[in-house]
């Protein structure tokens, strides 16, 4: 079974990078982001070995702010965006809701002469 834990990575004003897992007592700090990522991975792994029944207690959501003051809470998928290339968008429109896959068409019979009635 796969379980997902949110990890927050912040750069402090001093330049140090800290990381933590919301809802768990798992923290790490380092001089660089790469070292902080490695440290939080190993710290989380060690914590989960010592506490195998730990389940995530936090829920991650994203605040979307528009017009400077309008705040909406949306899902994490909003961070990824739903952008499509113009070609894929055109293909999707032409094919209905097939997700841009080619439309299934009947095979053509090019180069085949019709039989004459004798």
Residue-wise pLDDT tens digits, 10-28? 999 999 999 999 989 999 9
In sequence order, the β-bridge partners of residue 74 are 62
> Is 31 in a helix, a strand, or coil?
coil
Whether residue 17 contacts residue 33, with contact meaning beta carbons closer than 8 Å, is answered with yes
Q: What is the mean pLDDT of residues 71-89?
A: 76
Question: How far apart are the C-alpha atoms of 62 and 71, rounded to whole Å?
Answer: 10
* Confidence at residue 76, expressed as pLDDT on a 0 to 100 scale: 78
pLDDT of residue 41: 97
């Amino acid at each position: 079974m796969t379980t997902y834990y949110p990890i927050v990575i912040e750069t402090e004003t001093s330049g140090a990078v800290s990381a933590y897992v919301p809802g768990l007592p798992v923290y790490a700090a380092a001089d660089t982001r790469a070292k902080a990522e490695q440290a939080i991975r190993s710290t989380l792994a060690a914590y989960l070995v010592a506490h195998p029944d730990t389940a995530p207690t936090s829920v991650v959501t994203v605040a979307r702010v528009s017009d400077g003051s309008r705040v909406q809470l949306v899902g994490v998928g909003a961070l990824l965006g739903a952008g499509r290339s113009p070609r894929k968008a055109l293909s999707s429109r032409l094919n209905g809701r097939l997700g841009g896959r080619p439309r299934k068409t009947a095979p053509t019979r090019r180069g085949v002469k019709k039989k004459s009635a004798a």
